[in-house]
Every structure is written in C-alpha cells, then in structure tokens.
Structure 1
Amino acid sequence: MEPAVPALDEVWFTRCPVPTATGIAADRGTLAAEFAADGIAVRSFQDNRGGTNDERHFTHAHPALFREGGNVPALWARSRGGATRLIGLTWIEERQSIVVRAGSSISDPAHLRGLRLAVPRHDLSIDFWRAMALRGLSGALGIAGLTLADAVPVDIPAGGPGQWETELRALADGRVDAVYVKGAVAVEAAARHGLVTGIDLDGYTDPRTRINNGTPRPVTVAQSLLDEHPDIVDRFLAVLIDSADWAATNPDGVSRILATETGSGPAGVAGAYQQHGTLHLNLSPERLDLLADQERFLRSHGFLPSAVDVAAWADHEPLRRAHELVARRSLEN
C-alpha cells in the first residue's frame, strides 16, 4: 500500500513588487476564492510582514510555496540544489533604460565605451540588484558590439532607503556617468534626481538586449507540492491564467493594482508599463532559450554556484493541464 499523501491545509505564494499574474489574483481575491471551499488557506509572504525580506522569498525553502518573481533568485535557488520546478514564464516590458545627467551627450550604446558605469553592491544572500545592473549594462553595450570590458564598472556600496537611490545619487554627484534602471519606482526616482533617459533599451527590437532579472520572469513551485498535490498546482495556475485574461481587458484596473504592487504613483506606472505586454504564462522554446541565456550570463559572473539545466528544470504538464481546466470551466459556465 502506498503511503497516504499528507493533508494540505494551506498554500503559500510570494511575488516581487512588479507586474505579476499572482499579484493581480491576490488583489482581486481570486486565489483565496479558488481554495476556500476546500478549507485551504492561501497565504502570502507579503501579507505576513516578511515580504521580500523573508529569506524564503529567495531560497524557495518552503514545501507548499509558489513564487512569481525575478529569475536571478529563482536560478540561484535551483543552482544550490533547491527542490523547485519551473512551471511558467512571462515577459513584461518594464521600461529598461540607461539614465544619465541632464545635458549629457550619451544617447547611443556606442557612447558608453570607456565610461564609468554604476554597479551596486548589496549585502544580500543573492545580490540580484548587482546582477540586474551588470546584465542591463551588458545588454546596452552589446547593441554596439561592446562588452563590460569596454567600459569602467564602478562599485557602488548600496545602503539607505529607496530603490536605485544610491546609484542615482552617484550619477547626480558625478561619480559615475550612467546607471541602468528598470520599472516604475526607477522612473520616479530618476525624475527626483533630475536625471534623464540616455538610452531607451525598450526601443530596440531584439529582446536579448533586455534579458534581465524580470525578463523572462519565472513562476516556480516547490517540487514536494507538485508531487503530492498536482491538482492544487493546476488550479493555482488556472487562476493565474484567468488573471492574465482579466488584465488584458482591464487596463485601468491593472494600473491601479500595479501602483499598489510596485509602491509607485500613477506617473511611475504610466512611464514604466504603458506597453507592458501580457501576463500570460508559457514555456515556449523561445522563452526557455532566453532564460537559458540568462543562466549562462549569471554563471559566468559568479552568481550561480553550479549550472542549471533550464530545459530539464521546466515541467510543461501543470500549465497544459491548467489550460485544459480553464477550458472545461468555460464550457460548464
């Protein structure tokens, strides 16, 4: 006789303060509603005061956890032997740019040659901020056929409140010549410092120039939850599919939720996510290839202790089953 599967009375999720289908579902209450009749509580690190300061947001060390967030911590956790599976990827444009001082002549990636580029250093188990800066600067330089070796990366010890503030102050003070930023908070922070966009990475058609922590953004799940309760994983993903469908036709509602999720105002949301794309998940060969590119970059810069086989990490079945579940429910209704 096979051992009984442990009863499940709660599931947990965590997400980054960025556009996510999980954040949409949390705001609308659809995740809680999905499992209420089963007596399964749906809990979030963000609602449990720990938020993204809870180390498990990075390590994924929880047996009943879903995570939708940056790929740097997700790949790092997997490379350390974390028992997770990749069950979806999104690609959301988040206003990635290289900002400079007002009046600067920097307006083309080729202009970055020989310049001082800010690279923050945070005291974190996995310094995703540093990884983001290096990848963003590398992407910008690559447009002109350059590499990080063609510029002068400048370490900026980060500290104090506010995202991007340390790097942006260094730029405003003239200690560096350019800073990579992304997202709504960065739009507002750069404006406060009187800084302007020198290079708009969103203006280049090749998505590889914008591969970074959130592009593509993974949804991962604890292997134990997938093994013991695959139906729960399918239903969770079905809610995210519904959330992405809702988001596609409710731009005003999405803007309101993004302001709450990102902690920015209307100007930041409008500036960062006017053409954000879709929150729909997939595991297409193209997105998996983009994530594999990110894995190679992170490993080459020492962020990953061992290699991650992205193709082997991905499990396509839960998302396939979730789409079938959504289709069945649609017919029933």
Structure 2
Amino acid sequence: MTRPVIHYTRCPSVPTVTALAHARGLLEDEFRDEPDVDFEYKSVGFSPKLKYDGADRFWLRNAGHAPAVWKRSLGVECKVVGLAFLDGRYPVLTLHRSGLDRPASLKGRRVAVFHNPDSPFDLMVAQQLKIYQTALKSDGLSLDDVELVYLPRFHPGAAKGGFLLSLFHKGIEALEAGDVDAVAASIPPDGGFYPQLNVVYDTRLASDRVDRVHPSVLRGLVVSTPLLEERRDLVARVVARLIEASEWAATAPIDAVRILASDLKQAPETIASVYENIPQGVRLDLNEDYVASLAAQKTFLLRHRLIEHDFDLESWIDRSILVDATALHRQRQTDAVKS
C-alpha cells in the first residue's frame, strides 16, 4: 500500500517560521522515522490549484494570507491554525524632482499597480492597493482620488538579485519613463537611490495594525481539512516544532536573519532593512489583533473584488492546534530538563 504524503510548502518571497524550522532540521528530525506517512517539503510560490484529490489531500502551507483567503472563498476545505504578523517598511515612492512629497500631493496622479494578467488571483495587486489605500487615508484621501495604472510585472522566477530588488528597479523604470507618478516598492539598503526619491509615505508609520496589514505582512499556517481530521496529531507536532524554531530565533536573531536571507535568496542586510523584529514577526499566534487583521483583509479583498464569495471567518480558524502544540512543546522542554 502506498504511504500517504503530507505536502508541506512555504512561500519563497516572505520570511516564515517554517523556513527556520526546516533550515535547522527540526521538521526532518521530527518525522525522519515516521512509520505511517512521508513528508515532502518545498519552497514554492502561489498555485491556483483548487481541487485536491486523494493523493494530495494532506497539505500544509505557510505563506501570505491572501491566497488562502481566495482559495477558501472558492470552497477549498482548509483551516487556519496560526497567524504571524511581520511588520516592515513598505513605502510609496516618487521621484524627488516631481515635487510630490506627501500623500495629499498624489491626488489626481497616476500610481503604478504591477500585476499578473494570467493569474486568477493576483497577490501583488492585493498588496499594492492596500499600501496605497493606507498612504492616501493618512491625508484624508482614498483610492478613488488617484488613477491606478496597471503595468505587467516581471516573472518572479526571472528576477535577478531577488524579488524585492527586482520590483524596486521595475518601479524606478516606470517613474523614469513617465508612465506613473508613484510606485509602492522597498528601497535597497545601500542608500544610493535616496537622493533621487521621495518617500511619500511608509505604511509602517500607521498607528493602526489594520492599516499596516497587507499580504506580505500577515501570513498564516493553513492546513487541509482532511489532514486535520485524519492526522491531527501530526499537525500538532509540526506546530510544536515551529514554536521551537521561533523561540530559538528570539535567542539568536542575527542567525535567524541569515537563515531567512539565504532561504529567500536575499542579502541579510536587505531582509533586515525591510522587516522589523523578525523573531517576533514570524511567531505563530491567534490573538485578537491578528484575527481582526485577517477579518479586515477579507473585507478589503471582497470590496475590491479580488475575491467574490464571502465566508464565515471564525469557522475557518482552528485555535485548538496552537494550544495543543504549545502544551506539547512545553512538555518536551520539561522532559529535556529532567533528563
């Protein structure tokens, strides 16, 4: 009889606690001698797959929340068992010579929205629209006050120097060509571009967590319902190892940044310049603030027709796994001390 495979994936574009656990060998160690199932670990981007047959019904994914919301809205049976909120720098930029230096100055102007016309769900559009909305809101404006200019993006697999750097250069090209007046892109840490640019707004400055949230900030650990129903014990053991990885990161933040930079094929200084408090930001939780942020994002995606079908958020969340995994991790710590 063929052993079932648990497909475990993580996003290749954002830091995740799964990347830390995998790099430290925690997941492999946990399931190396597992007699009943095989684990398959991969770092892969968004897939529009909606049908999961018997061979791939067991899966976990640690990635940005928005694609999971899209899939759940279309009926994919899954549950959120943990969320992580990693704050970072997400600026809206203009050329210095344009004189556009605050959100109010963008009224009536053209803002770039890089998109993938071939994707049924465009993660980048969801991110950029939220960043612009937050920036404009800070000066009493909305997305209705600007012209959204949709530009084809590069293929992430062809990005040289990493996704963040490639997006920045694509944005600068659009500004220099006069195609748009503003872009949403992170500035490289070397600082060489700062004299050319105005940081019109940076969403990390927003005091409200709901204003700061977008697909690259809030990520989740989502598990297929069949896996939870048939092998809940394995999911709890995975999450216990993720808790172990996040606690290690809190004690070794520099090493954690290096691991995540390697996983994302970025320079450590690039990761450190974009994201804030990475050990805290990759830690899984289901506190009220995180869940409220997820609810706000679902509403945002609906409002902009990035998803078309609503669903009950609370029934999508399984809080018990994180509780049981935390208890398992603490028991293992106690046993280790005794031994």
Query: Is 2:45 the partner of 1:52?
Result: yes
Matching residue of 2:123: 128
1:122-201 mapped onto 2 (5 Å cutoff): 122=116, 123-159=118-154, 161-162=158-159, 163=163, 164=167, 165-181=169-185, 187=188, 195=197, 197-201=199-203
Matching residue of 1:293: 296
Matching residue of 1:319: 322
Q: Report if the CA contact (8 A) 1:60-1:77 is conserved.
A: no
- Scaled by the length of structure 2, the TM-score of the pair is 0.86
1:61-100 mapped onto 2 (5 Å cutoff): 61=52, 62-100=56-94
- Where does structure 2 lack aligned partners over 5 or more consecutive residues? none
Cα distance 1:120–1:21, how it changes in 2: closer, same or farther (>3 A)?
same
Q: Work out the CA distance in 1 between the residues paired with 2:262 and 2:246.
A: 17
Q: Report if the CA contact (8 A) 1:132-1:212 is conserved.
A: yes
Matching residue of 1:3: none
- Scaled by the length of structure 1, the TM-score of the pair is 0.88
- Identity fraction in percent: 29
The SS at the match of 2:45 is helix
Shift of 1:278: 2.9
Cα distance 1:53–1:205, how it changes in 2: closer, same or farther (>3 A)?
closer
Query: Is 2:203 the partner of 1:208?
Result: no
Q: Work out the CA distance in 1 between the residues paired with 2:21 and 2:145.
A: 44
Counterpart pick for 2:268 among 266, 269, 287? 266
Q: Work out the CA distance in 2 between the residues paired with 1:297 and 1:68.
A: 21
Cα distance 1:192–1:260, how it changes in 2: closer, same or farther (>3 A)?
farther
Count of matched residue pairs? 319
Q: Which amino acid aligns with 1:24?
A: L
Matching residue of 1:23: 19
Deviates more, 1:83-92 or 1:203-212: 203-212
Matching residue of 1:43: 40
The SS at the match of 1:87 is strand
Query: Is 2:102 the partner of 1:101?
Result: no
Q: Report if the CA contact (8 A) 1:99-1:178 is conserved.
A: yes
Shift of 1:7: 8.6
Matching residue of 2:104: 110
Deviates more, 1:108-117 or 1:281-290: 108-117
Q: Report if the CA contact (8 A) 1:86-1:219 is conserved.
A: yes
The SS at the match of 1:294 is helix
Q: Report if the CA contact (8 A) 1:121-1:127 is conserved.
A: yes
Matching residue of 2:331: 328
Cα distance 1:42–1:191, how it changes in 2: closer, same or farther (>3 A)?
farther
The SS at the match of 1:13 is strand
Q: Work out the CA distance in 2 between the residues paired with 1:208 and 1:109.
A: 19
Deviations 1:174-217 (A, max 9, x none): 211111135xxx63699679655332221232222212013321
Question: What is the RMSD computed on CA atoms of the aligned residues?
Answer: 2.4
Matching residue of 1:231: 233
Deviations 1:251-274 (A, max 9, x none): 121121121222221331221124
Q: Work out the CA distance in 1 between the residues paired with 2:188 and 2:120.
A: 27
Q: Report if the CA contact (8 A) 1:156-1:166 is conserved.
A: no
Shift of 1:282: 1.2
Q: Report if the CA contact (8 A) 1:259-1:265 is conserved.
A: yes
Q: Work out the CA distance in 1 between the residues paired with 2:4 and 2:315.
A: 30
Shift of 1:103: 4.1
Q: Work out the CA distance in 2 between the residues paired with 1:240 and 1:154.
A: 40
Q: Work out the CA distance in 1 between the residues paired with 2:241 and 2:3.
A: 18
- Where does structure 1 lack aligned partners over 5 or more consecutive residues? 1-5
